[in-house]
Chains A and B, each alone.
Chain A
Amino acid sequence: MTLSKGFKSIMDTVKAEIWSQTTGKVALMLLILLVALGIAAAIMLPPNFVQVWNDLKPWGLKPKNVPPQWASIFGYACAPHYEVDLRGVTYRTNITGNEVVIRYILTYDFIANGYPQGIAVSIDGFSLSAAQSFKVTVNIIRPDNVKVPEVISYLTIPIGMNIRVDGALLNPDSMKLASTLVTLYPQLLTIANVYDIAMKYTIYLFSKFSNATGILPLTGTYKVEVIVSAMYSNIPTAKDVDKLITAIRSSNSFGFAIIGTCYGALGTDYRGRDLFEALFFGLPIALLIGFGTAVATTIIGLFAGLVSGYYGGLIDEFIQRFVDVLGSIPQLPILILLAVAIQQTYGAHPNKPFIMLMAILGALIVFGWGGLAIVVRSMTLSIKSEAYVEAANVVGASNWWIMRKHIIPQLLPYIAAQMVYATPSAILIEAGLSILGLQHGLPTWGGVLADARIYGNIAYWWWIFPPGIAISVTSLTFVLLGLALERIAEPRLRRV
């Protein structure tokens, strides 16, 4: 039987036996969807995703602990997140005195579905030489044409020859902003005191005030002026202007954000990380753990069972007792023990995620093959005594030929069932280990849930439901597939 022919016959069986059942149809469609998404995620996975995910800096501008965008359907006050990467927008430059000034004009449409959380500028990996000082100022011009100056202002001087700004998250000085607002709108003081304004500055920055109505959201277009300037000791030249622009362009991050109260497809966690990314890129890892364990346990279980049942004698006794011992050892504690030991030994090792993942996989495989070995052994024993096997033996067929032609084909439903059941249980155990805090460092579904428990106090629905649903749907796919296969292996369970 050639390989393509064998594949075709498997596909025919799948079509005739599994696709014909409703559960089988649902399972196969879910499986195809999961595998397709998994492959897509594996291709789209940025090479440094793990570092970025575990790094604090790049997430600075994202809102923290906020629900997804579509939460507004359920009446959640959702201020959209507005973020601009200043490295890629148009600007105007000019030189005033000894200063090079770069001016970005941004427009923000406020639709008054809840107030934003805050305003921030994030700068990382910025380096500028020869300048005497470096300044970032944000002014906001409200729809009523009042300019609120210096909402954010930041000034830094060189250390040595260079000005370096790393991992900076610039927020408004809220007391200063409050007094600016009070100066611009004296009537504010009859509504609130300065401390209130400072505490909730976004409310007042995006509102109109009158003694009669109090505070009402001021909708419309807000102009945001981001001014980046550098001071030099002499009159700057066009070259200095270019240098500042290059410095901005070549930084790791140079962005402005009006931080919303909703974000993305699945919301964010306590560090403002997009949960959708974790779930999406967690899929190939989950599938890898599931399939890896399933394939390995199936192969080991199949061959151990075959050898045990076919050859019998001492080796049979040995394999069966080995399975017995494995079956009596508590699996989860040993796994936890291994994970803790690796965490302690390789905690700071750069390959720790990989080492830990491999150790968990290895332990799952060691504990996983016993059940199949027992089933395969008992099936082999009964097939071995059939007349056609004896006949094949008499005409001189090799043991391997008999196993391949007569025994393994009859075991196929059980082999498939083992693969189908081992996959979700491996995924569930790996996720369970993460929940206990034994994380290998790759963003996995269990890891997200563990964070939701530790940092989110189980209080945010968008943080607990989606990862669990992802785990459950994946595992449901294989349970359904198992049900469909069970009906093939055990025809009596078929619906009458």
Chain B
Amino acid sequence: MGVGTIILRRTIFLALALIIAVFVTGFIIGATGYVDNVIRAIIKEEVRAYRSALSKMPNVNESYISSVVREYEQTLVEYYGLNKPWIYRIIPLVLSTLSFKFGDVQQASVADVAGMQTPVKASDVILTCLPRTIVMVTVAELIAISLALVFAPRVAYKVGSLSDRLVVVYATFMNAIPIWWFALIMIFVFGYRLGIAPQQFRGVISALNTVSEALLKSDIAKFLAGLTAVLHYAWLPIITIVIVLLGPWLYNVRAVLLRVVREDFVTAAEARGLPREVVYQRYILRPSLSPIMTSALLGLAGTLGGYIITESVFDWPGMGTLYYVAISSGDPATILGLTYVLTLVYVIARLILEILYVALDPRVRL
């Protein structure tokens, strides 16, 4: 098989996986019937409001009101599609989501996460929340990865030294601690006891708005002020995530490097008396690059979905919180849209990796 065929084959399978993921989500939403309950509640509320509005009008008799209200209820049931089985509602929604025509947000609480009002497209809500997750989770993951790439090689050269053992112990502990619990502790210590961090994080919305407005007007002073405001909210979540993620990252990069350091060709290069820098860059770094890149790229792609639990602990209005609010309040358009976008990002990351493997590792081309 040629390189092109391999990549094409993978593309087809990944695209299939993507479509199946969205369908599975749609089926779970539909088959469990919980969205129906939510819609029924909405209809009931609207009908009640309609009836009370009618009965306030003078000179309308009771039977007339009842018949009009019944008609109105019927229109609503048809509008929301409750008169048909769930398949008829979910399948078109899944298909239109797959073709990037996201549906409307139905729940006020979902729009509220984005700081919007209800007649709004799911895509707008998602695009509004994305930058908030990037400034917190993605930035934190990037910092953790960079720190690991700087420090892990120093440790990997001296296996068994004190600093190496410290790294292993640190990584072990951070592997065991759930990020969201650590987040609770950080809020408790820095937010409540020391009082140097905010206790509420929703303020980041207006801070980010200031930044984007300043960018549009290229107003540097305002931009810096907005950035400071964003940092005021973001520093605690970022530090929390970096502290916890750095452990596993250090450990993984160290493990990858260790495997390569013990290879015969490295020993041979050292025996030839090549300078350490050359050995590191030419003989160690290159073969280590592909596994490290894999986890880095997949990790970064994963951050775009936000950390649902950690964001929810910080009450950070990002993708994770949006996902959670959409699920708990039963908003099919947003749930499907998020599932689609996030799986798409993941699938694209996988594809980029496949292509990069071919480019970086000549062995694959054989």
Q: Which residues of A contact B (CB under 8 A)?
A: 23, 321, 324-325, 327-330, 332-334, 336-338, 340-342, 344-345, 424, 428, 431-432, 435-437, 449, 452-453, 458-459, 461, 464-465, 467-468, 471-473, 475-476, 479-480, 483, 492-493, 495-496
Contacts and interface: CB of A to CB of B under 8 A. Distances in A.
A308 to B, nearest CB: 16
Given A344-B37, A345-B33, A453-B184, A329 B178 contact: no
Interface string B294-323: 000000000001001100110000000001
B181 A449 contact: yes
Contacts, number: 144
A334 B25 contact: yes
Nearest to B346: A328
A472 B33 contact: no
12 contacts: A23-B172, A328-B21, A330-B343, A333-B25, A333-B308, A336-B327, A340-B328, A341-B28, A345-B33, A452-B184, A468-B178, A483-B168
- Overall SS of chain B's interface: helix
A143 to B, nearest CB: 38
Nearest to B35: A341
Interface in B137-182: 159-160, 168, 172-173, 175-178, 180-182
B99 interface: no
B135 interface: no
A495 B343 contact: no
Please indicate which of the listed interface residues A344, A431, A452, A475 has the most CB atoms of chain B within 10 Å of its own CB.
Answer: A344
B150 to A, nearest CB: 22
A124 to B, nearest CB: 35
A330 B339 contact: yes
A471 B159 CA distance: 30
Nearest to B255: A493
Given A436-B309, A452-B184, A458-B192, A333 B327 contact: yes
A458 B180 CA distance: 12
A459 B192 CA distance: 7
In the complex, the 4 A-B pairs of residues with the closest C-beta atoms, listed nearest first: A341-B32, A476-B176, A468-B181, A328-B17
Contacts of A483: 168, 172
A479 to B, nearest CB: 5
Please indicate which of the listed interface residues B33, B34, B309 has the most CB atoms of chain A within 10 Å of its own CB.
Answer: B309
A329 B19 CA distance: 10
B360 interface: no
B335 A324 contact: no
A124 B178 CA distance: 41
Contact of B176 (A334, A336, A467, A475): A475
Contact of A337 (B25, B33, B173): B25
Contacts of A437: 328
Nearest to A480: B172
B172 A476 contact: yes
